[in-house]
Chain A
């Protein structure tokens, strides 16, 4: 074979260079993909929207549609109801208040308290058989789902270590959630 004008690199060096370049490209792509996924943390969630309501109506702690079709709004101070109503319509749209109207119910915790505790309580998902952690705006509580009651003590222990008031958390049993592809 006719030699080229370039200096022929030893095969081992070439192999190493190729492998290193491939590895670098792989890591860069993985980094980009990871960044794309982590950017998801910037999206405004339903909980973020509820926090926006609290900023306009201090003491707001969640809401739900009651059995009479009215919007029950958790407030520490019922006098904040008009401000809460206006904020709910601003954040969630004109149709957010049902035709039956809205009324205040006594809330013990604010959305920002519940949101902070929910973030911290997320660590209980490190424990086996914990199914979910949810800022339960319909109950003015943090909700934690476990597969069976035997898991409750370990969850309580971790929640205490995270400095989350026991009374602010509802622990309930629930079925495990499985992906539903079918062989």
Chain B
């Protein structure tokens, strides 16, 4: 499980488990050979029993109740059969006899959310909004004792300037969705070492955003969608950041609000890259390509870039800021460049 940090209001992580009531899930049921007996209650009676049983949801581990007319009973889904006795005792207190209920073990039901919906605690890869644009949250971090997150510098009102840009997750510019304000965004520098004449340069397209009070940030986690290069935005789990590093070759990944989980191979390392339509040159950037998939599109700026080490364990590599028009190449700033410009960051 990930480590959750909540600013000011320390509290329990809300577990997104939705319990079903009538008309519960069709899967995970214990197949029973018992048919409906002549003395079994009818549909209306079953529904009444089902309503009477609603208070059993006060017991931890109850997933659903279902007036199951094919069985002639109210089926109660639980995470663990160990609470069987508690359920039956509660049912008896509610006036429902033991023979009118059947208890089955089932898996928890999680709320299905996407990268573009409001999800707390905030994780890397979610959609964020500033001004009139949307981008992706790069990664959560603690900088100089301040909890917040990193995203792309150009995902702020004034790129290369601390302007207090306010960020919302996922979309609406209302106080309930405010998640932070920009506090670090170094200037793009003219005439620095390696910077071409007439251009301004930096080593990363990144900024730091101090988290808003009361907002939970999951340090060391990146939202995981259903699979690489399938375009899905549905959150299916998390990647756990177990280290920071560099990838000079091989496969790397990103998760962003537009194209989801994208995967490609490093094709260029430490490449001075001109940003189209601007006088900016980003020094020593990393290029990633997948000729067979769209791995970047507008809105993916800021996305965390990482290498999968095994299972859901990943090494954080940097943040994405650009791509080509066909979406087959994305460019990211390596963590070394980000930390040189923003200062040391604790990312897990």
Given A122-B196, A177-B274, A181-B152, the answer on whether A37 and B189 have CB atoms closer than 8 Å is yes
A45 to B284 CA separation, bound complex (whole angstroms): 7
Residues of A within 8 A of B284 (CB): 45-47
Interface-lining segment among B5-13, B93-101, B173-181, B265-273: B265-273
A38 to B201 CA separation, bound complex (whole angstroms): 9
Tell me the smallest distance from the CB of A183 to a CB of chain B, in Å.
6
**Contact indicator B324/A182 (Cβ below 8 Å):** no
Q: Does A75 contact B (CB under 8 A)?
A: no
Residues of A within 8 A of B237 (CB): none
Residues of A within 8 A of B341 (CB): 36-37, 40
Tell me the smallest distance from the CB of B285 to a CB of chain A, in Å.
8
A177 to B326 CA separation, bound complex (whole angstroms): 10
**Contact indicator A177/B298 (Cβ below 8 Å):** no
**Contact indicator B298/A181 (Cβ below 8 Å):** yes
Residues of B within 8 A of A34 (CB): 187, 189, 192
Looking at the complex, which one of A92, A122, A179, A183 makes contact with B132 (CB distance below 8 Å)? A183
Fill in one digit per residue for A143-183: 1 if any B CB lies within 8 Å of its CB, else 0.
10000000000000000000000000000001111111111
Q: Does A55 contact B (CB under 8 A)?
A: no
Q: Which residue of B lies closest to A143 (CB)?
A: B268
Interface of A: prevailing SS:
mixed
Given A40-B341, A47-B270, A175-B326, the answer on whether A181 and B275 have CB atoms closer than 8 Å is no
- Residues A113-162 near B (CB distance < 8 A): 119, 122-126, 130-137, 143
**Contact indicator A180/B270 (Cβ below 8 Å):** no
Residues of B within 8 A of A133 (CB): 271-272
Residues of B within 8 A of A64 (CB): 249
Fill in one digit per residue for A24-67: 1 if any B CB lies within 8 Å of its CB, else 0.
00000010011011111111111100000000000000001100
Given A43-B340, A181-B135, A182-B134, the answer on whether A123 and B268 have CB atoms closer than 8 Å is no
Q: Which residue of B lies closest to A175 (CB)?
A: B324
Residues of A within 8 A of B273 (CB): 131-132, 177
Q: Chain B CB within 10 Å — which of A39, A45, A64, A180 has the most?
A: A180
A174 to B289 CA separation, bound complex (whole angstroms): 12
Given A40-B203, A43-B337, A123-B196, the answer on whether A177 and B187 have CB atoms closer than 8 Å is no
**Contact indicator A65/B186 (Cβ below 8 Å):** no
Fill in one digit per residue for B199-211: 1 if any A CB lies within 8 Å of its CB, else 0.
1001101000000
Residues of B within 8 A of A183 (CB): 132-133, 298
Tell me the smallest distance from the CB of B270 to a CB of chain A, in Å.
4
Q: Does B50 contact A (CB under 8 A)?
A: no
Q: Chain A CB within 10 Å — which of B205, B250, B323 has the most?
A: B323
Interface residues on A, range: 35 or more
Q: Does B149 contact A (CB under 8 A)?
A: no
Tell me the smallest distance from the CB of A118 to a CB of chain B, in Å.
8
Residues of A within 8 A of B202 (CB): 37, 40
Q: Does B89 contact A (CB under 8 A)?
A: no
Residues of A within 8 A of B188 (CB): 37
Q: Does B320 contact A (CB under 8 A)?
A: yes
Q: Which residue of A lies closest to B197 (CB)?
A: A126
Q: Does B225 contact A (CB under 8 A)?
A: no
Q: B: which residues have CB within 8 A of A?
A: 132-135, 152, 154-155, 186-189, 192-194, 196-199, 202-203, 205, 246, 248-250, 258, 268-277, 281, 283-284, 287, 296-301, 320-326, 329-331, 336-337, 340-341
Q: 19 pairs across A/B with beta carbons < 8 Å?
A: A33-B186, A42-B340, A43-B203, A46-B270, A47-B270, A47-B284, A122-B272, A125-B196, A126-B199, A131-B276, A132-B271, A175-B324, A175-B329, A176-B276, A177-B324, A178-B325, A180-B322, A182-B297, A183-B132
Chain A to chain B: the 7 pairs with minimum beta-carbon distance, closest first: A182-B299, A176-B276, A182-B298, A175-B324, A40-B340, A134-B271, A125-B196
